[in-house]
């Protein structure tokens, strides 16, 4: 149970950072010269990439169809191995 909690907590962090990055994306579309927002966007997207990499290494790919990497240590196709969102 603790493992799934850890996994869900990591997934939640990824969702939070993705939402923040999307909001800053929309803000920067209309305010491209805002250095503060741009700096926050860069920090957010970097942290988001780190968390995604950590999640995919521990739990399997977040996306399929060419967007995610098959886990490096997996011998077989790992996309269908991880639980579906409604199973978590």
Partner 1 sequence: MKNFTFKVVPGPPGAFNHLPPKPVAPVTPPPSQPVKSEPFGQPCPPPCPYYQHQPQYPPLQPPAPPAAGPMPQNPFAAARLAHAYVPWQYYRVVYPPSEALDKGTLFPELYQPQGVYGPCEGPEPCRVFGPWGGAPYGGN
Do residues 46 and 24 touch, judged by C-beta distance below 8 A? Answer: no
Q: In whole angstroms, what is the distance from residue 29 CA to residue 23 CA? A: 10
- 68 by DSSP, 3-state: which? coil
Pick the stretch among 7-15, 54-62, 64-72, 75-83 that binds partner 1 (CB under 8 A): 7-15
The least distance separating partner 1 from the CB of residue 43, rounded to whole angstroms, comes to 11
Count of C-beta atoms within a 10 Å radius of residue 44: 20
Residue selected from 8, 16, 46, 81 as contacting partner 1 according to rule CB under 8 A:
16
The least distance separating partner 1 from the CB of residue 87, rounded to whole angstroms, comes to 22
Residue selected from 2, 3, 5, 29 as contacting partner 1 according to rule CB under 8 A:
29
């Amino acid at each position: 149970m603790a493992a799934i909690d850890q996994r869900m907590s990591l997934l939640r962090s990824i969702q939070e950072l993705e939402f923040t990055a999307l909001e800053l994306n929309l803000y920067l579309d209309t305010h491209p010269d805002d250095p503060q927002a741009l700096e926050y966007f860069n920090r957010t997207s970097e942290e988001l990439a780190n968390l995604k990499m950590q999640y995919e290494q521990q739990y399997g790919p977040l996306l399929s169809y060419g967007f995610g990497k098959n886990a490096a240590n997996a011998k077989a196709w790992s996309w269908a191995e991880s639980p579906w969102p409604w199973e978590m």
